[in-house]
Structure 1
């Protein structure tokens, strides 16, 4: 019997399987995730919108930095909340590109769209003080809030104890933890480029990405 969603542990295995069996690099999936995130953000933005993207030192942050680069290339005002030093090779390379394309470091005085690409599915609670401070600023602002993959600070029961997302763009497959989000939170699913055989291996139906790379759930 097919499953309709994946636990975070199962998705980690799926992600690893795609890398190991199909040579689907983390960098390529990061590019796919970041492009889809940029498209979702652009739907909520206008020419004068101020966008802040919060990133950590991991692959989720790297996806946020790809989105920052894409949005800056399209002419948007993009700012980066760098909560911790970006030292890992892939996120560091993405940060350098984003800055070259026109993204700026620092949190602006006002933000219209605040994006949570802080930690993703590898997050561990409790969060460090630095992340708690940034999340508090985001939640206290009037910004529309979007999370990449899963909101930072989410509980095992889907309660938004951290970043109060209005939208979530999850990656590749539905996540069980997101099924318990409040009804007003919009959830989208983005194509990472994972082949159908991987979905079959994990006994979950492949979404109709051939027609829609970004699907509303």
Structure 2
């Protein structure tokens, strides 16, 4: 019997299996995630929108930095809230590219769209003071809020105890934890380029990415 969503632990296994069996690099999937995130943000933005993307020092932050680069390339005003020093190889390379493309470091006085790419599905609670403070600043903003994969600080029962996302773009497959979000939160699933055989192996139906690479759930 197929499942309709995956637990975070099951998705970690799926992600790892795709990497090992199909030689899908983290860098390639980071690019795919970032492009899809940029597309979602662009749908909400106008030409004059001020966008802030919060990032950490992991792969989720790298995806956010790819989105920053793509949005800056499309002419948007993109700002980067660097929660911590970006020192890991892939996110660091993405940061350098985003800055070269025109993204700026720092939080502007006013933000129209705030993107949470601070931490990914491996985040652990309680959050450190650094991320708690970042979330407080973001939540105090009147900006429309979008989270990459899962909202940072989300509780195990799906409550938005951290970043108060209006939209969530989850990666590759629906996550069980997101089914418990308030009904007002829009959830999308984005294509990472993982083949159907991986979905079959984990007994979950592959979203119809042939129809659209970004699907509303």
**Common fold: TM-score over 0.5:** yes
Partners of 2:80 and 2:129 in 1: CA distance: 18
Aligned to 2:206: 206
After TM superposition, give the deviation of residue 70 of structure 1 in Å.
0.0
After TM superposition, give the deviation of residue 129 of structure 1 in Å.
1.1
SS at the partner of 2:121? helix
Partners of 1:69 and 1:122 in 2: CA distance: 24
Q: Deviations over 1:174-210 (max 9, x none)?
A: 0000000000000000000000000000000111001
Alignment of 1:159-178 (within 5 A): 159-178=159-178
Aligned to 1:7: 7
After TM superposition, give the deviation of residue 134 of structure 1 in Å.
1.1
After TM superposition, give the deviation of residue 165 of structure 1 in Å.
0.1
Aligned length, in residue pairs: 217
Aligned to 2:84: 84
Aligned to 1:96: 96
Q: Deviations over 1:119-143 (max 9, x none)?
A: 0101111111111111111111100
SS at the partner of 1:125? coil
Aligned to 2:109: 109
Aligned to 1:131: 131
Unaligned runs of 5+ in 1: none
Alignment of 1:118-157 (within 5 A): 118-157=118-157
The answer to whether the aligner puts 1:16 opposite 2:16 as a matched pair is yes
Partners of 2:95 and 2:12 in 1: CA distance: 24
Unaligned runs of 5+ in 2: none
Aligned to 1:185: 185
Cα RMSD (Å):
0.4
Aligned to 2:37: 37
Structure 1 residue ranges (4+ consecutive) displaced by more than 3 angstroms after TM superposition: none
What TM-score do you get using the length of structure 1 for normalisation? Answer: 0.99
Partners of 1:164 and 1:120 in 2: CA distance: 15
Partners of 1:125 and 1:56 in 2: CA distance: 15
Partners of 1:44 and 1:134 in 2: CA distance: 23
SS at the partner of 2:52? strand
